[in-house]
Amino acid sequence: MRTTASTALLTDMYELTMIEGAVRSGTAERHSVFEVFARRLPAGRRYGVVAGTARILDAVEAFRFGPAEIDYLAAAGVVSEETLDRLAGYRFGGDITGYAEGEVFFPGSPVLTVEGTFADAVVLETVILSILNHDCAVAAAASRMTVAAHGRPCLEMGARRTHEAAAVAAARAAVVGGFAGTSVLEAGRSYGIRTIGTAAHSFTLLHDDEEAAFAAQVAALGPGTTLLVDTYDVPRGVERAVAAARAGGGELGAVRLDSGDLVAQAFTVREQLDALGATSTRITVTSDLDEHAIAALGAAPVDSYGVGTKLVTGSGHPTAELVYKIVAREDADGRMEEVAKASASKSSMGGHKVAGRVLDEAGRAVEELVVATSDVARARTEIERAGARALQVPLVVGGEIVEEHRGPGALEAAAQRHLDSRAELPYQAWRLSEGEPAIPTRHVDLDPRDDERRAR
Amino acid sequence: MRTTASTALLTDMYELTMIEGAVRSGTAERHSVFEVFARRLPAGRRYGVVAGTARILDAVEAFRFGPAEIDYLAAAGVVSEETLDRLAGYRFGGDITGYAEGEVFFPGSPVLTVEGTFADAVVLETVILSILNHDCAVAAAASRMTVAAHGRPCLEMGARRTHEAAAVAAARAAVVGGFAGTSVLEAGRSYGIRTIGTAAHSFTLLHDDEEAAFAAQVAALGPGTTLLVDTYDVPRGVERAVAAARAGGGELGAVRLDSGDLVAQAFTVREQLDALGATSTRITVTSDLDEHAIAALGAAPVDSYGVGTKLVTGSGHPTAELVYKIVAREDADGRMEEVAKASASKSSMGGHKVAGRVLDEAGRAVEELVVATSDVARARTEIERAGARALQVPLVVGGEIVEEHRGPGALEAAAQRHLDSRAELPYQAWRLSEGEPAIPTRHVDLDPRDDERRAR
């Protein structure tokens, strides 16, 4: 849902208290580089999928502390008046670069890089991670499902299984991952996604009998509609459905199966439809599907899949495990310095990073090359020299949003980009079983850090 | 986030096409009863927790098809002009009753009952399920975590791991489940929840050294703040933290541990703090906690828990598996009739239901009694006669919202109600291991349905 409401309070309180502290120590204006990356992919996954980029751009634009936000912060005593004054004038003036929406990523890929003063960049952490962790999780599940579906259309129907606003974002992310439509109307309005849906069991049960329900639906939606045939008895439902469409002047568009053994039912229903002469009538299935169930239906005569719960909850991994870490910042003398947490676990690699995907002669991806440096131009040359495809694009430049990444056509472009990026991966990427990332990530540090400085 | 924007498009398209069909068959005005229930609890869970009731009331109130919604539906060709005219005048005029927020529930519990014309009641399905499936999932996880924490405060910090609006609802649901605060500011503004948070690793890394970071934080937030001590070396961090607070004029409020072996670290950090004389300084831990990790920390000297990912994703069960089914409706002669899907799987029990929790002499819950009937008054008498505590309360009466369930104090009341309801359950309810629902559900049908009618 694109919103004009402020996104500034979709923020963890500590982002603001950190600004308060940084103002106190005179470090709030230090130029800083934050990076979004995943330490690992969710267990067994072969690749991640970038989604939510356009929503991030909307959220950054709407990230303003208006009177209502300032009043709340003042009343709650979150930060000092001086800091509130500063926040009241907030407008992100830095740069954001990132993997374009739809691109696949791997552990350590610098999915998004946010540069600006510390105060400007730190405060975007929560909302950027919320968007990316949610949308990337759904897009990754969607991608696995569309791989499993081998070209048969997949349709998103999970709104009722997730938060009402998350549902709208999930529909969008599903399209990035290859889905062809959604049940939820707000996603149609907000993102121009095709909406689908005809009737539930309640519609059949509302009527005195199944014939009356089917006749009403055909009268309202035409014979090309999809009739749900499993409220009472499937074979009788199929017979009545075909008859209702013909009485309405045409051949039935499709039947929907929402329960039972879908593989077995698909075969018997297809046989029955063909025996009735309804050879053009399609079969859509919608019951508790995930990528494995879709794969199992591959040999069955099914024409499309409606997916709910498992899609919107990331098929077992509802969050993409992305983090937002400071990787470089100005020192007291104005020089940029790599920084990273140094204690035992959750350590990370400092430095501003430039990334490329190394391809072999056949154009197949072989490696994610991630170069850390204070000299971005030099890193870009390294990437080029390695024959790698550059992965980062400018999304916000000096506070100005690059409209191409959220305007009309951006979602379609992201879906196509995902198809292309996924097609570039080696065969093992498309396997549904658990395994290692499809390609390894190689880190190169052009400015090896003085290790003594780590333990300050 | 309480919103004044319309919620009407947070709706699956088929709700509107069903209205279109029902208008066509003259059944749109049939009085209908829809019920929200769970066929089962998520695997191994002992009880469910009702959360989101206040948000549902807001969503029902804001469920209006304004010009913007109608224009979209017209342009997309979702339904006919006649149906659009009908929708433009939509305002829910029926009744909603339900388990009060915070109450526990079991398989088959009639968590929410929506009564009205078919057209009025069916259209609320998607948004009601979205809210309940999300909020109940988070509240159930929160409840397990607060059980495991044995009275130590649990704090919600998961905003970055879930959709940005879901995060706000999750913070609210966490409070229903016993949490004491949240990191996300919008939840503070929208629901009056106490917000918490001080600084991340990035704040320490921003500064030239750890001492400078700690000094800045103490200067900004006072010595009672919580200092994050694991950026470089924990023992040195603890020493510096205590010193920084004292230099700032007081004893340090708390140290936070966000990585490593938390159990072992809690003991050594406690010893170190005590040795430094900082006996009042508390220890808070925040790394990848779930109810099992919290339980494992029970014997360690930890003072509070900050929980992120696992809380907002329902600790393995991100959706509560609630469904919204028509259970009774008027027939052609104006009499109410029980209805239910009759085919092999996903069958359900028809009939308007009244529920009570049967308690033994010690006031301990022994059974969920669910009485299906067309005579609600008679069912209430049955519940009373069984010595059961009535579970359903009016939430919307003739379209008017019962303000007590969303007004100031409603969230606090829900949290207290949850404590009371959980305390009433037998001991096995509080076990974290997988098991059966804490009490069985007994269904009684006062109007046994003519089985011949099922196969229509």
Instruction: Give A 287-326 residues with CB within 8 A of chain B.
Output: 287, 309, 312-313, 318-319, 324-326
Mind telling me how many Å the CA of A401 is from chain B's nearest CA? 20
Give the separation between CA B206 and CA A339, rounded to whole angstroms: 8
Please check the confidence at residue B345 and state whether its pLDDT lies above 70. Answer: no
What is the structure's pLDDT at A82?
Answer: 96
Please check the confidence at residue B266 and state whether its pLDDT lies above 90. Answer: yes
- pLDDT tier at B342, thresholds 50, 70, 90: confident
Average pLDDT over residues B344-368: 89
Q: What are the E-state strand segments in B138-219? A: 154-156, 181-182
Sign of the C-alpha dihedral computed for residues B301, B307, B310 and B314 taken in this order: positive
**Look-up of token digits 């974002």:** A169
Give the largest CA-CA distance in chain B.
83
Spell out the SS3 assignment of A190-215: HHCCCECCCCCHHHHHHCCCHHHHHH
The DSSP 8-state label assigned to residue B49 in this structure reads E
Are the beta carbons of A205 and B341 separated by less than 8 Å?
Answer: yes
A390-413 confidence digits (pLDDT tens): 999 999 999 999 999 998 899 999
Pick the residue of B185, B230, B330 with the most A CBs within 10 A to test the interface with A by mutation: B185
Sign of the C-alpha dihedral computed for residues A220, A222, A226 and A228 taken in this order: positive
Strand duo B282-285 + B112-117: pairing: unpaired
Contact A160, A316 (CB under 8 A): no
Please check the confidence at residue A453 and state whether its pLDDT lies above 50. Answer: no
Instruction: Give B 330-369 residues with CB within 8 A of chain A.
Output: 331-332, 339-346
For A380-440, give the DSSP string: HHHHHHTTEEE-EEEEEETTEE-GGGTSTTHHHHHHHHHHHHHHTS-GGGG--S--S-SS-
Query: Residues for chain A: how many in total?
Result: 456
**From B195, B230, B234, residue closest to A78, measured CB to CB:** B195
- pLDDT tier at B171, thresholds 50, 70, 90: very high
How is residue B446 written in tokens?
């006062």
**From A21, A195, A208, residue closest to B332, measured CB to CB:** A208
Contact B135, B52 (CB under 8 A): yes
Contact B131, A164 (CB under 8 A): yes
Mind telling me how many Å the CA of B166 is from chain A's nearest CA? 6
**Does residue A303 sit in helix, strand or coil?**
coil
- pLDDT tier at B2, thresholds 50, 70, 90: very low
Pick the residue of A163, A230, A452 with the most B CBs within 10 A to test the interface with B by mutation: A163
Q: Which residues contact B286 (CB under 8 A, 6 or more apart)?
A: B157, B256, B257, B258, B305, B306, B307, B308
For residue A215, the tally of other CB atoms under 10 A from its CB is: 21
Average pLDDT over residues A96-102: 98
Please check the confidence at residue A451 and state whether its pLDDT lies above 80. Answer: no
ipTM above threshold 0.95: yes
Contact B167, B158 (CB under 8 A): yes
Strand duo B254-257 + B226-228: pairing: parallel
**From A13, A189, A454, residue closest to B196, measured CB to CB:** A13
Give the separation between CA B32 and CA B122, rounded to whole angstroms: 9
| CATH code, residues A13-138+319-454 | 3.20.140.10
Over pLDDT 70: what percentage of chain B? 96
Domain residue ranges of chain A, discontinuous segments joined by +: 13-138+319-454, 198-286
What is the structure's pLDDT at B450?
Answer: 52
What is the structure's pLDDT at A435?
Answer: 94
Are the beta carbons of B343 and A232 separated by less than 8 Å?
Answer: yes
What is the structure's pLDDT at A407?
Answer: 87
Average pLDDT over residues A130-149: 98
Residue A253: closest CA among A221, A297, A213: A221
Please check the confidence at residue A133 and state whether its pLDDT lies above 60. Answer: yes
Are the beta carbons of A157 and B32 separated by less than 8 Å?
Answer: no
Q: Which residues contact B47 (CB under 8 A, 6 or more apart)?
A: B41, B104, B105, B106, B140, B143, B422, B425, B429, B437, B438
Give the separation between CA A418 and CA A99, rounded to whole angstroms: 11
Are the beta carbons of A7 and B346 separated by less than 8 Å?
Answer: no
Are the beta carbons of B14 and A200 separated by less than 8 Å?
Answer: yes
Average pLDDT score, chain A: 95
Contact A40, A346 (CB under 8 A): no
| CATH code, residues B13-138+317-350+392-434 | 3.20.140.10
Please check the confidence at residue B210 and state whether its pLDDT lies above 50. Answer: yes
Is B198-286 in CATH node 3.30.1330.10?
no
Q: Which residue of B has its CA nearest to A124?
A: B160
Please check the confidence at residue A14 and state whether its pLDDT lies above 90. Answer: yes
Alpha-carbon distances of A386 from A165, A351, B442, rounded to whole Å: 43, 20, 69
Q: What pTM was computed for the model? A: 0.97
A258-288 confidence digits (pLDDT tens): 999 999 999 999 999 999 999 999 999 998 9
What is the structure's pLDDT at B4?
Answer: 60
What is the structure's pLDDT at B343?
Answer: 66
A413-448 confidence digits (pLDDT tens): 999 999 999 999 999 999 999 999 999 999 998 887
Give the separation between CA A215 and CA B125, rounded to whole angstroms: 23
What is the structure's pLDDT at A448?
Answer: 72
- Across the A/B interface, how many CB contacts are shorter than 8 Å? 364
Q: Does B446 touch chain A (CB under 8 A)?
A: no
Sign of the C-alpha dihedral computed for residues B154, B158, B162 and B166 taken in this order: positive
Please check the confidence at residue B256 and state whether its pLDDT lies above 50. Answer: yes
Q: Which residues pair with A112 in a beta bridge?
A: A36, A98
Contact A28, A118 (CB under 8 A): yes
- pLDDT tier at A452, thresholds 50, 70, 90: very low
Q: Residue A330 is inside which H or E element, if any?
A: strand A322-330
Please check the confidence at residue A450 and state whether its pLDDT lies above 60. Answer: no
Average pLDDT over residues B308-318: 98
Instruction: Give B 75-114 residues with CB within 8 A of chain A.
Output: 76, 78, 80
Give the separation between CA B368 and CA B111, rounded to whole angstroms: 12
Per CB-CB distance under 8 Å, the chain A contacts of B210 are 456
A365-382 confidence digits (pLDDT tens): 999 999 998 889 999 999
Alpha-carbon distances of A170 from A134, A147, A315, B183, rounded to whole Å: 8, 18, 12, 24
| Dihedrals phi, psi of A384, to nearest 5 degrees | -65, -45
Over pLDDT 90: what percentage of chain A? 92
Are the beta carbons of A160 and B342 separated by less than 8 Å?
Answer: no
What is the structure's pLDDT at A330?
Answer: 97
Q: Do domains A13-138+319-454 and A198-286 have the same CATH topology?
A: no
The DSSP 8-state label assigned to residue A273 in this structure reads H
Q: Does A40 touch chain B (CB under 8 A)?
A: no
Alpha carbon B179 to chain centroid, angstroms: 12
Strand duo A226-228 + A95-99: pairing: unpaired
**From B159, B216, B343, residue closest to A25, measured CB to CB:** B216
Please check the confidence at residue B346 and state whether its pLDDT lies above 70. Answer: no
What is the structure's pLDDT at B349?
Answer: 84
Residue B16: closest CA among B97, B74, B93: B74
Q: Residue A8 is inside which H or E element, if any?
A: none
**Does residue A137 sit in helix, strand or coil?**
helix
Residue A51: closest CA among A424, A444, A410: A410
B14-30 confidence digits (pLDDT tens): 999 999 999 999 999 99
Alpha carbon B106 to chain centroid, angstroms: 15
Note the helical H segments in B248-359. 262-275, 291-296, 309-312
Give the separation between CA B429 and CA A135, rounded to whole angstroms: 35
Q: Per 3-state DSSP, what percentage of chain B is helix, strand, and coil (rounded to 5)?
A: 40, 20, 40
Q: What are the E-state strand segments in B251-375? A: 254-257, 282-285, 304-307, 322-330, 336-338, 352-359, 365-373
Q: Which residue of A has its CA nearest to B346?
A: A259
How is residue B256 written in tokens?
């936070």
Residue A93: closest CA among A32, A19, A51: A32
Mind telling me how many Å the CA of B160 is from chain A's nearest CA? 4
Contact B355, B383 (CB under 8 A): yes
Q: Does B453 touch chain A (CB under 8 A)?
A: no
What is the structure's pLDDT at A456?
Answer: 53
A280-306 confidence digits (pLDDT tens): 999 999 989 999 999 999 999 999 999
